Amino acid sequence: MNQEHIFIVRCGEVALKGMNKPYFERMLAERIRKLLKRKFERFDVKRHEGLIFVRADQQYDKDAIIKEISKVFGVASISPAVETESNLDAIGEAAVAYMEELIEEKGIKTFKVNAKRADKSFPVKSPEIGRIIGAKILIGCKVLKVDVHDPDCLLFVDVRHDKSYIYQDKIAGFGGLPLGTNGKGMSLLSGGIDSPVATWMMAKRGMLIEAVHFHSYPYTSQRAQEKVEDLAKIVATYCGRFKMHVINLLPIQEQIVEHCPEEETTILVRRFMMRIAEQVARETGCGMLITGENLGQVASQTAEALVVTDASVQMPVMRPLIAMDKVDIMDKAREIGTYETSIQPYEDCCTVFLPKHPATKPKLERILASESKLNAEQLIADAVASRETIDIKPE
């Protein structure tokens, strides 16, 4: 590619992985390749000296490429850059041309050069490189002045062994760890605000995702399920395609309502959901469950209720939102693009047969006594066997 965009991609926590750093960098580069491949044909991704360099044909929109790269977990920042030879004359010439474009596009008047000599064999040290390139810019761009405190443009010069790079912006990514570096989890995904955010947050920590969704058809509509599929597709833009197992919870809910105390309905339903999700998780190679529960938010999420819920499964339960304020969860949902879909007013299985006065401090022995009135194992087996599995692909 003769005409190309160049992007410097920096790793986040990957840089702290010691002897495992090359493995994490390879995984990160591969995730970037996979994501870009969905929308672009002519590009190249290579690791070099602790950085990842992405090159793409100049016909593609630069901002669109940055937007896609920024979705990759493990990316700390991205810089659109200009590449030049590693000698001061070439760097100076490229820096002047770069600043001339900024003068024309943004009308900048002041600048500062921040130089870094990654190649320690380069004969000029970093501070001197900055002074030399700054002087060349002043000569080549008469309208500019140096401002070391609050410049219109902070120009970075990264001098490396084979090539050097000039850039201005460091566009933040989400950080985290590359997908596939931290196991696999089964998310209990609903149509609310919380569970898509919880799923996203665990994926950000490098965890591959599958999901299980419960509905209560015909009390819940087909459109309610489609809403959850829409949410799953948004999440998949970050964590890649995954499977969502859809299960009708209504037969279990009807049995609970018929045979158990009304105030225990919510916690009993929750325990069945967890046990079903655990069985599907074991069948699909997941090592833990993921929920959007938040301490004290609703009756089934009091400290006592969560203890009783956890007692229904042996698999560890990850609750990344457990101590977050609702406002912060909503802000994160807006940031990742799930909020507007989550607030669409379609019914959820958790609102079916909702008791007037749910138990907020359930006792495990009482819950177990109520469950003993049900053929729990058969109900769970039937639910798992009847599941529909949907292949969720990114939007």
Write out the binding residues for ATP.
Answer: 188-189, 213-214, 270, 292, 301
* For the chain, the helix, strand and coil percentages under 3-state DSSP, each to the nearest 5: 45, 20, 35
DSSP secondary structure letter of residue 15? G
Cβ(119)–Cβ(160) under 8 Å? yes
Q: Is 90 left (phi over 0), alpha (psi -120 to 50) or beta?
A: alpha
Buried b / exposed e over 139-149, threshold 16 CB at 10 Å, is eebeebeeeee
| Tokens at 30, concatenated | 């591969």
Q: Give the end-to-end CA distance of the chain in Å, rounded to a whole number.
A: 29
Sequence-distant (≥ 6) Cβ neighbours of residue 128 within 8 angstroms: none
Handedness of CA 347, 350, 353, 357 (dihedral sign): negative
Contact 216, 250 (CB under 8 A): yes
Name residues whose C-beta falls within 8 Å of residue 358's C-beta, 6 or more positions apart in sequence: 263, 265, 266, 267, 299, 300
Distance of alpha carbon 194 from alpha carbon 201, whole angstroms: 11
Using alpha carbons, select from 246, 203, 251, 256 the residue that is nearest to residue 226.
246
Distances (CA, A) of 40 to 31, 45, 59, 79: 14, 12, 10, 19
Residue 31 · residue 178 · CB < 8 Å:
yes
